[in-house]
Every structure is written in structure tokens, then in C-alpha cells.
Amino acid sequence: MQIFNSPTRYGAVAQSLHWFAVALVILAWVLGVSDDLLPKGPARATGLYIHIAAGLLVIVLTIVRLLYRTADPSPPAEKTEFGDGSFAGWMGLGAKLAHVGLYVLLVAVPLVGIAVQFARGDALPVFGLFDIASPWPADRAFARSLKGIHELLAHGLLALAGLHAAAALLHHWVFGDRTLTRMLPESDADR
């Protein structure tokens, strides 16, 4: 398996960063939407702790991904043949806007989540290493407002990620190009 990106596919580093981010986002989202289902006490506190840790890791991972992209640029987009070719330009623009939106939301959702924690007057646990004290006094109304924004952005992130995945599947099954497979581990058929 190739470690770095090539002109035709993503390398193991880029693939790992991508799929690890996917797993963290799903974990954080599931814990976020199911927090009220957990019994009060240690189970709910552990769920919140993992939710926060996953969100912090998403921020770190997103920064690492963006820095990595400057050192090892992504392969160029697959050439997609469809109709008279005019649709390909729109698809390329849509893909670029979706990627920008994903990166913005990957940072914005956890940042707003941090603000929720602080608005509650609670410290932010950082991977069990240390806590960052809230810079604000507790304000329940403000915390509720921020939580609503956090949830809305998180759902938007999942929706945009779903469209991103659907577009990859569309490329694979309808257009027959390698958009999807170049972000998957290389198989014997790819060699």
C-alpha cells in the first residue's frame, strides 16, 4: 500500500485521516443525540466526556488534515464523462463547495460545543490531562441557545457528509469512475 498520495489515488496517510475523522464524527454525533437516553450519573458523565474528547480530536485531526494537504496535495479530481461535459463543471464546483463546508463544520461544530460547555459554567476536560476552566459565569439560557446551534450545525455536518458519501457512490455506480475507490485501501484488482 502506498503511504503518500499519488496522481491517481490517496495514500494510506490521507485515507487514515479521512476515515478516522468519519468515525469520530459519527461517535460524537451518536453520543450527542443519545445523551438524554443515558442514565444520569456516571454513564451520562462518561458519555459526555467521550463526546467532548471526540469533538476535540475532530478539531485536532482537521487541522492535521489541512496541514497534511499542503505537504501532500490531493490527487486531481477524476474526469467524469457525462452528457455534453457541461455538468462536470457544476459537479466540480459542488465538490469544492462541499469540501469547504465540511472542513468549516468539522471545526465549527466542536468549537460551538466548547462554548456550550463554558456557557454551562463547566470546565472543558482535555483528554483527561487537564481541564480548562470556563471563562464565563454559568448562563443556562445562553447555554441552551448555544446547544441548539451546536445541534443544528452537527445535523448539518451529518447531512453534508451524507451528500458527500452519496456523491462518491453516484460516481462509482453511475459514472463508473474511481472517485470512491481511490479513498479506499488498495485491492488486488487496483494493482
- The CA distance from 94 to 168, in Å, is 12
If you average pLDDT over residues 57-80, what whole number do you get? Answer: 93
What is the pLDDT of the chain when averaged over all its residues?
92
Collect contacts of 86-91 with beta carbons under 8 A, ≥24 apart. 91/167
* Average pLDDT value for residue range 140-163: 98
Record the pTM.
Answer: 0.91
User: ∠ CA 159-82-87 to the nearest 5 degrees?
Assistant: 60
Closest CA to 74 of 4, 123, 26, 146: 4
